[in-house]
């Protein structure tokens, strides 16, 4: 058996939990999962501590967020619940909406970015729009434009790695502070202006609809006020 994670006491915001899963409001920059390569706090450690360091704890993320992305994500309590939730992930019964502050503005106030995404040649994590990539669709709506930046609300139709970041960069308005697909910002150390703002899902066991929202963090909303 794997050793238990190191507990990490972090004041986690958990907007919803039951016997099947937790819905966590992940801060950024915080890695979702522990790994042998990275030492230090992760959401995995923090959830282990939050749950009371139970014996036999296994971290079962349902939808992962990049280290630099904040907001709502799910972790299942059991392998069965994880399986049921992951089956819902890219259908109409699991809706995820994001807020992003981007540089500039998209060409239209709302639309769909329908561009295939694949791994960039020779890269380990970097993705790019490419003809031989997997289909990827992102819906967006501009909420406001101020001081050379825009606030967008986005909904994923597919869940490719770095999908929103790659799509917005391809549109010519990269996520503010995105060190991989745009330009790093000193005011956002280790993170960028992407936030998982809403999760709405049909509970795979009880059938009830559950919806939670997370407001845009202050360090991101302030980006819209700077001239």
User: Does the structure show a pLDDT above 90 at 37?
Assistant: no
Q: What is the 3-state secondary structure (H, E, C) of the chain?
A: CCCCCCCCCCCCEEEEECCCEEEEEECCCCCCCCCCCCCCCCHHHHHHHHCCCCCCCCCEECCCCCCCCEEEEEEECCHHHHHHHHHHCCCCCEEEEEEEEEECCCCCCEEEEECCEEECCCCCCCEEECCCCECCEEEEEEEEEECCEEEEEEEECCCCCCHHHHHHHHCCCCECCCCCCCCCCCCCCCCCCEEEEEEEEECCCCCCEEEEECCCCHHHHHHHCCC
Residue 127 near residue 162, CB atoms below 8 Å: yes
pLDDT tens digits for range 112-168: 999 999 999 998 889 999 999 999 999 999 999 998 999 999 998 888 889 999 999
Confidence at 6, pLDDT banded by 50, 70, 90: confident
pLDDT at residue 208, as a whole number: 97
Report CA-CA distances (Å) from 126 to 119, 177, 181, 194.
6, 16, 9, 17
pLDDT at residue 64, as a whole number: 86
45 or 225, which is more confident?
45
pLDDT at residue 3, as a whole number: 65
Mean pLDDT of 8-24: 92
Residues in the chain: 227
Share of the chain above pLDDT 70, in %: 96
pLDDT at residue 11, as a whole number: 82
User: Does the structure show a pLDDT above 90 at 178?
Assistant: yes
Residue 173 near residue 49, CB atoms below 8 Å: no
- The structure's pTM equals 0.92
Please provide residue 73's backbone torsions phi and psi, each rounded to the nearest 5 degrees: -150, 160
Most confident of the ranges 2-6, 30-34, 47-51: 47-51
Mean pLDDT of 67-94: 94
Residue 44 near residue 22, CB atoms below 8 Å: no
User: Does the structure show a pLDDT above 70 at 226?
Assistant: no
Residue 194 near residue 97, CB atoms below 8 Å: no
User: Does the structure show a pLDDT above 80 at 1?
Assistant: no
pLDDT tens digits for range 55-73: 989 999 998 899 999 999 9
Catalytic residue annotation: 66
* pLDDT, averaged across the chain: 92
Residue carrying the six token digits 């302030």 = 222
Residue 163 near residue 155, CB atoms below 8 Å: no
Residue 147 near residue 227, CB atoms below 8 Å: yes
User: Does the structure show a pLDDT above 60 at 227?
Assistant: no
């Amino acid at each position: 058996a794997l050793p238990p994670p190191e507990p990490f006491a972090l004041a986690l915001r958990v907007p919803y939990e039951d016997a099947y899963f937790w819905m966590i409001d992940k801060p950024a920059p915080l890695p979702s999962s522990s790994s042998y390569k990275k030492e230090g706090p992760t959401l995995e450690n923090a959830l282990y501590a939050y749950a009371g360091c139970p014996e036999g704890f296994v971290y079962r993320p349902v939808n992962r967020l990049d280290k630099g992305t904040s907001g709502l994500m799910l972790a299942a309590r059991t392998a069965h619940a994880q399986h049921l939730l992951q089956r819902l992930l890219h259908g109409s019964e699991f809706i995820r909406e994001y807020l992003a502050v981007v540089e500039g503005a998209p060409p239209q106030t709302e639309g769909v970015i329908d561009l295939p995404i694949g791994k960039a040649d020779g890269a380990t994590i970097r993705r790019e729009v490419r003809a031989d990539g997997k289909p990827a669709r992102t819906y967006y709506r501009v909420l406001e434009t101020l001081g050379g930046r825009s606030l967008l609300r986005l909904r994923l139709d597919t869940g490719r790695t770095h999908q929103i970041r790659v799509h917005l960069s391809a549109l010519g308005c990269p996520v503010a502070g995105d060190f991989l697909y745009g330009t790093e910002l000193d005011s956002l150390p280790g993170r960028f202006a992407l936030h998982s703002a809403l999760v709405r899902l049909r509970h795979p066991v009880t059938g009830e609809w559950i919806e939670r929202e997370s407001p845009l963090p202050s360090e991101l909303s302030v980006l819209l006020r700077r001239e």
